[in-house]
Structure 1
Amino acid sequence: MKTDDLITMLSSGPDVRLAARPARVTLLPLSAGLLASALLMWLLLGLHPNLAGEVLLPAFWTKLAFSAALAWAGWLAVQRLCRPGARLGGLPLWLGGPVLVLWCAATVLLLQAAPDARAELFWGRTWRYCPLLIATLSLPIFVAALHTMRGLAPTRLRLAGAAAGFAAGAAAAVVYCLHCPELSPVFVGFWYLLGMLAPTALGAAIGPRMLAW
């Protein structure tokens, strides 16, 4: 190597960019995790008996869109946190936006509902086990996300683990929509979110150990 070439290389600084990975390396484990979550839901819970009727209701699609939007935002956070030096940018907006929109809709619904109907809108019939089921269904996706992230270069390990847990929890909520009988935005905005935050907390706790280089 010529001296001038060496000086040019050193002055440009180290190249910290990650080599591009084939899409299948990322998509296959995540798809397998999502499929395992769906299979687990089908075997343990089954589809909602009136699912064909529910898909005709706007409330069903609101529930599904809320969960899917948070799953997408969570995966976007995972991708950013696996790149050293990548900026988080508008991630707080993408993560908080769906929650804020649904909470506004839930507030309007509560204000319009009769006082004796408000408790039912919040508690529903499945609040005792809804968050637990979402957290349980998230485990295959969570494992797949951690496996994928270990092949990359996360530096903020606790935050990256939390992002993996949140993305997995939100994706599991999408799957759980096919079983859940609840349609109230008030219920979904609290109990679904609680179910997503459980794997988020787990990811924050084990991220430094599981994602260490």
Structure 2
Amino acid sequence: MQTDDLIAMLAKDGAVHRRPSLLTWTPVAMAAVLSAVLMAATLGVRPHLEQWAGAPLFWLKCAFVAALATAGLRAVSIAAIPGARFGGLPWLLAAPLVVMAIAAAATLLVADTGTRAQQFWGSTWRSCPFLIALLALPIFAAMLNVMRGLAPTRLRLAGAIAGFAAGATAALLYCLHCPELAPSFVAFWYLLGILIPTAVGALIGRAVLAW
């Protein structure tokens, strides 16, 4: 059966409009818990984390990554359904990127010339993206496995979306360890860490998600 025929059949039966149940995504939730445990055991939670609660930039970082994770997970649930439309989801994804870009530009503009480079590079730029990508692996694997059991039709896109959602979720966990708060650092290096599994997902999506 051709893909177009299958989509037409599902649309006729009304199956396109059914969303996977929360139980379907239980393996992804369990993988996220595993990533959190691995982060705590190998990297450790930042000492005196409670003191950061008073730092607006800490909450800005967390809100930025949480917004990306929310958009990514929403996109995954849509991409797993044949014929489903993303609607206004691209705007939901773009909004936190724009806000963080504005915050990064604003903080760099008011910073002393000598501190601008430090704000961008921080002290962990060499490891940050790769640690995020590594923490994303269990979530990424679980997400691909769940999606394969559903019916994605745009396989490369679905793989990329799964990688993005896994990377953003891992980045949110990484916030509990990372000492960096500068918006310019978060906007670039965190996003780079998220885009690594996104690129991998696009590369392997067709092979892994074929059904």
Q: TM-score, normalised by structure 1?
A: 0.90
Task: State how far apart, in whole Å, the 2-side matches of 1:22 and 1:205 are.
Answer: 28
- Whole-angstrom CA distance in 1 between matches of 2:54 and 2:87: 37
Counterparts in 2 of 1:44-59, with a 5 A limit? 44-59=42-57
Q: Match of 1:24?
A: 23
SS in 2 for 1:55: helix
* Residue identity opposite 1:161 in structure 2: G
The aligned length equals: 200
Q: Which runs of 4+ in 1 moved over 2 A?
A: 18-23
The DSSP-based 3-state class of the residue aligned with 1:14 is: helix
Q: Equivalences for 1:80-159 in 2 at 5 Å?
A: 80-159=78-157
Percentage of pairs with the same residue: 56
Question: Closer, same or farther in 2 for the Cα pair 1:14/1:98, shift >3 Å?
Answer: same
Q: Partners in 2 of 1:160 and 1:123 — Cα distance? A: 32
RMSD, matched Cα? 1.3
Q: CA 1:20/1:117 → structure 2, altered by over 3 Å: closer, same or farther? A: closer
Instruction: Provide the secondary structure at the position in 2 that maps to 1:40.
Output: helix
Q: TM-score, normalised by structure 2?
A: 0.91
Distance 1:182 1:15, change over 3 A: same
Q: Which runs of 5+ in 1 are unaligned?
A: 1-12
- Paired with 2:138 and 2:53, the residues of 1 have a C-alpha distance of 26
Q: Where in structure 2 are there 5+ consecutive unaligned residues?
A: 1-10
Relative to structure 1, is the Cα distance of residues 91 and 129 closer, same or farther in structure 2, using a 3 angstrom cutoff?
same
Q: Distance in 1 between matches of 2:203 and 2:58?
A: 33
2-structure distance, mates of 1:74, 1:181: 24
Asked if structure 2 preserves the Cα contact closer than 8 Å seen for 1:145 and 1:164, the reply is yes
Flag the 1:32–1:113 CA change in 2: closer, same or farther, 3 A. same
Q: Deviations over 1:25-63 (max 9, x none)?
A: 22x111111101101101110011131211221111111
